[in-house]
Amino acid sequence: MAKEIEVILGGPQGGGIETAAQIFIRSLARAGYYVYGKREYFSNIMGRHSYFQVRARDRPVRSVRSKVDIVAGLDAESIATHFDDIVDGGAIIYDPSFVNTKIVAMPMMEPDTKEHLIKRLKSEGYDPSVQGALMYAEEKLNAKLYPLPYKQMLEEAAKKLNVQSLAIVQRFLNTVVLSAVAALIGLPREDLESGLKDVFGARKPKAVEQNLIVADIVYDYVKSNFPPFHKVIGGNKDDNARKEPMAILNGNEAIAIGKILGGLTFQTYYPITPAADESFFLEAHEQLQIDPEFSEEAEILKGAGIVVFQAEDEMAAINMATGAALTGARAATATSGPGFSLMVEGLGWAGINEVPVVVTYYMRGGPSTGLPTRDSQSDLLFALSAGHGEFPRIVLSSGDHEEAIYDAVKALNWAERYQTPVIHLVEKNLANSWMMVKPPKRDLISIDRGHLVSDENENKSYARFEFQDNGVSPRALIGVHKALVWYTGDEHDEYGHITEDPVTRYEMYKKRLKKLELADKEIPESERAILYGDHDADIAIVGWGSVKGAVLDAMDSLQSRGYNVKFLQIKVFSPFPRNIVREVLSRSKIVIDIENNYLGQAARVIAMETGILIKHKALKWTGRPITESEVVMAVEKVVKEGAETVILRDGK
């Protein structure tokens, strides 16, 4: 029987939830499981509700479901928020002191959330309090309740740690809750110890020792006072367990690693959620260089290192990255929706001057400041058309962490090969989720610097924008090649001098756009759209970005329910893989577009590029990612009921 567990760990922002989740994720991985975890949090430094949803199983996992097996809360608000997020027979771990807390008295909970919860519980005949929520879960959801006296656990820990003040051991509250979950699911103590060592490492051996003392207290209490939970997974180290070496990364780290392997030498940013963590990672590792043994093509960049620069605003960030690219640096900037809005004029300058600059665009909920820490796929059309006038740009999106590594390399390569801006779309869900990935393969990493001026062709009358049949002119690097180069934001001739001549305008405009035609010919459509599942399946799901994980995880469940489903993941939207999309969709009886936006933006692009109108859509715009459960539900509603639009609303 397959082993699987899914848990929500909730608590106040700054209360140690992220540390506990990182220990839990690594402990499960050390136990032999595949693990996926996503983080949800408010745009608040301390106090507001934050939670991690962690899913582990004995086969690859790429998403979460709508309901979990266990909810464990550090505070009363976590229980009030997630009491109904469990499957039938699921467990809730809480402190008994929480039960008398009224929802109206929770100081950090949003007023409208309070209103919704109070109305919900009252309508079901329950008191609007934690006690009412627990009674609802027990009676309606067959929940198993595990009241764990947190204070008693901490007092015992204080004695064993020889600490006089309970306030000092309060920092171990997250370990108390985590250990209760670990004990309940039968996670071996040695694997929890390994997770602690992974997080605290050699830097804090005392922290490992102290946390293990707390964990032992909780393990003993759970074993002595509670009946076994029905879903005990234990370790997974038999002959069928995961054996291959893997790394645990979040999306920000995956992209940063891809950029390092791709030869990035200059990165700019202005701090913004959720993009900034990528640049923080690069700052922490900016002395890393590409090992020539890993990538022979890296010789031109050997010893360059990485300059990471925090600009004064996003306009400066795009312009600095563009300037660095003109000198030959492999240059990129990272931002989110509001920042990209400010970058648009600079993007147009890079477009008209054929500058190879990469923009890593982390999508979050908009418009305006919108939902700074929540998920969305609502910026696709903006990325495709941002900037006045027409100029080529390559737009690609990543579906998971492993793809993100290789896509970051491709973005840098394509920018230089086609001398055009590349926009790499990444969702907040991917940025702030953790997944196990295989180490990058050497034979899949290469560096392509494009068409550079050769030494023998250097001269003072160099035509930077020389007309070429394929649109790509030899590129001279400022400060490197002996060539005089002119750049301007105006239309220009082959040498870069301003002109409004209609003949030159005609040829130069066409020259720039030809590069997109070249990319369309050279980049295989099989890299731009990927088909999963039975090619002859009657039901085709179309999606992009991190929807991929939810769909792939749902396909096994759909198969067991009698649905033969294939999934077409669109990875590159410009140049669009129209042939493969047209071919796959035209031979499918039912096509369902699944997206995390209101308009079905990818479906609109498909209609524009292929003429195919997708009738059925499953759409979500709550700021939370699409779950495996929602994909299954959407397919069933379309097939059984003929629903044209299915609205998805799971998640908190």
Residue 343 phi, psi dihedral angles, 5° rounding: -85, -10
| Domain definitions of the chain by residue range | 4-225, 248-444, 455-522, 527-647
Q: Which of 180-184, 272-276, 296-300 has the lowest mean pLDDT?
A: 296-300
Dihedral sign, Cα of residue 382, residue 647, residue 426, residue 443: negative
User: Among 47-56, 231-240, 457-466, 615-624, which stretch is predicted with the lowest mean pLDDT?
Assistant: 457-466
- Tell whether the model's pLDDT for residue 386 goes beyond 60: yes
**Residue 166: C-alpha distances to residues 10, 151, 154, 172, 616 (Å):** 22, 9, 7, 10, 57
Of the pLDDT bands very low, low, confident and very high (cuts 50, 70, 90), residue 298 is very low
Bridge-based pairing of strands 645-647 and 357-363 is unpaired
**Pair type for strands 4-12 and 49-57:** antiparallel
Q: Which of 199, 242, 187 is nearest to 34 (CA)?
A: 242
- Give residue 300's pLDDT: 42
Closest listed residue to residue 549, CA positions, set 423, 438, 436, 421: 436
Which pLDDT score, from 0 to 100, does residue 285 have? 83
Whether pLDDT at 495 is above 50 = yes
Q: What is the mean pLDDT of residues 72-88?
A: 98
- Of 229, 175, 247, 207, residue with least CA distance to 24: 175
Supply the pTM of this predicted model.
0.95
Task: List, for residues 135-167, the tens digit of each pLDDT value.
Answer: 999 999 999 999 999 999 999 999 999 998 888
Question: What pLDDT is recorded for position 370?
Answer: 97
- Note the pLDDT tens digit of each residue in 251-270: 999 999 999 999 999 999 99
Q: What is the pLDDT of residues 520-564, one digit of tens each?
A: 999 999 999 999 999 999 999 999 999 999 999 999 999 999 999
| CA distance between the termini of the chain | 31
Average pLDDT over residues 566-577: 98
Q: Which of 346-360, 361-375, 378-392, 432-446 has the lowest mean pLDDT?
A: 432-446
3-state DSSP call for residue 637? helix
Using the structure block, give the residue that is written with the tokens 């009412």. Answer: 132
CATH code assigned to 527-647: 3.40.50.920
Taking the CA atoms of the chain, what radius of gyration do you get in angstroms?
27
Average pLDDT over residues 366-391: 98
Distance, in Å, from the CA atom of 358 to the CA atom of 350, rounded to the nearest integer, reads 10
Percent of the chain with pLDDT over 70: 95
Residue 299 has pLDDT above 80, yes or no: no
pLDDT confidence tier of residue 243, bands split at 50, 70 and 90: confident
Check whether 432 has a pLDDT greater than 80. Answer: yes
pLDDT value at 458 more than 70 = no
User: Which ranges constitute the DSSP H helices of 17-110?
Assistant: 17-30, 76-82
What's domain 248-444's superfamily in CATH? Thiamin diphosphate (ThDP)-binding fold, Pyr/PP domains (3.40.50.970)
What's the mean pLDDT when you consider all of the chain? 94
Picking from 524, 322, 295, 497, the residue whose alpha carbon sits closest to that of residue 422 is: 322
Question: Is the per-residue pLDDT at 302 higher than 60?
Answer: no
Same fold, 4-225 and 248-444: no
pLDDT per position as a tens digit, 176-200: 999 999 999 999 999 999 999 999 9
Q: Which CATH superfamily is domain 4-225 in?
A: Pyruvate-ferredoxin oxidoreductase, PFOR, domain III (3.40.920.10)
In this predicted structure, the answer to whether residue 461 has a pLDDT above a threshold of 80 is no
pLDDT given for residue 454 in this prediction: 77
The pLDDT value recorded for residue 553 is 98
Task: Annotate 134-161 with DSSP letters as a single string.
Answer: HHHHHHHS-PEEEE--HHHHHHHHHHHT
